[in-house]
C-alpha cells in the first residue's frame, strides 16, 4: 500500500469514526424542518380564510408546526419514524378537510402530498444509504 493510499484510508476511518449519524435521520430532519415552515404558513392561510374558529386554527397549526420542529430530536429512537408518518397523515387529513371547507384548500392537498412524498423519499433513500454504508464499512473492516 502506498503512502497516499494509507493516508486516504486513515482519513476515511477518521471521518467515519467521527460521523456515525444516520442518513435517514438527517434527511427526515431536513424534511420536517421545511414542513414546519409550510405548516405555519398554511395556518396563516387557514386563519385568513376563516375556515374554523381562530383558536382551533392556531391550536392545530402551531401545535403541528412545533411538533415538526421537535420531532427530529427523537428520530432514530423507538417510534420516532412512526410519529413522522403520523404527522404526515394528520397534515394530509387536515388538508383534505380544508379542501372540503373551501376550494382554496386543494392547494394544501397538493402541498401535503408533496411533503408525504418527500418524507417517504427521505425514509427510503436514507435507509438505503445507511445500509450501503454499513456494508461498505464491513467490507473495508472500518469500525
For the chain, which residues make up each domain, given as ranges? Answer: 26-140
Question: Would you state the cell numbers that stand for residue 97, as one nine-digit string?
Answer: 378537510
- Any residues with CB less than 8 A from the CB of 118 and at least 6 apart, and which? 31, 34, 35
- Of 61, 69, 62, nearest in space to 31 by CA: 69
Q: CA 69, CA 36: separation in Å to the nearest integer?
A: 6
Category of 79 on φ-ψ map: left (φ > 0), alpha (ψ -120 to 50) or beta: left
| pLDDT, tens digit only, all 143 positions of the chain | 556 555 555 555 555 555 678 999 999 999 999 999 999 999 998 899 888 899 999 999 999 999 999 999 999 899 999 999 999 999 999 999 888 888 877 888 999 999 999 999 999 999 999 999 999 988 888 65
Q: Say if CB 28 and CB 57 are below 8 A apart.
A: no
Amino acid at each position: 500500500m502506498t503512502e497516499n493510499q494509507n493516508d486516504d484510508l486513515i482519513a476515511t476511518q477518521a471521518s467515519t469514526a467521527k460521523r456515525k449519524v444516520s442518513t435517514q435521520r438527517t434527511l427526515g430532519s431536513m424534511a420536517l424542518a421545511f414542513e414546519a415552515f409550510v405548516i405555519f404558513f398554511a395556518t396563516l392561510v387557514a386563519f385568513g380564510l376563516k375556515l374554523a374558529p381562530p383558536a382551533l386554527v392556531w391550536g392545530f397549526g402551531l401545535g403541528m408546526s412545533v411538533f415538526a420542529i421537535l420531532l427530529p430530536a427523537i428520530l432514530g429512537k423507538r417510534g420516532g419514524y412512526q410519529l413522522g408518518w403520523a404527522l404526515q397523515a394528520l397534515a394530509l387529513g387536515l388538508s383534505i378537510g380544508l379542501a372540503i371547507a373551501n376550494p382554496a384548500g386543494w392547494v394544501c392537498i397538493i402541498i401535503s402530498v408533496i411533503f408525504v412524498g418527500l418524507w417517504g423519499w427521505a425514509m427510503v433513500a436514507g435507509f438505503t444509504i445507511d445500509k450501503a454504508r454499513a456494508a461498505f464499512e464491513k467490507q473495508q473492516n472500518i469500525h
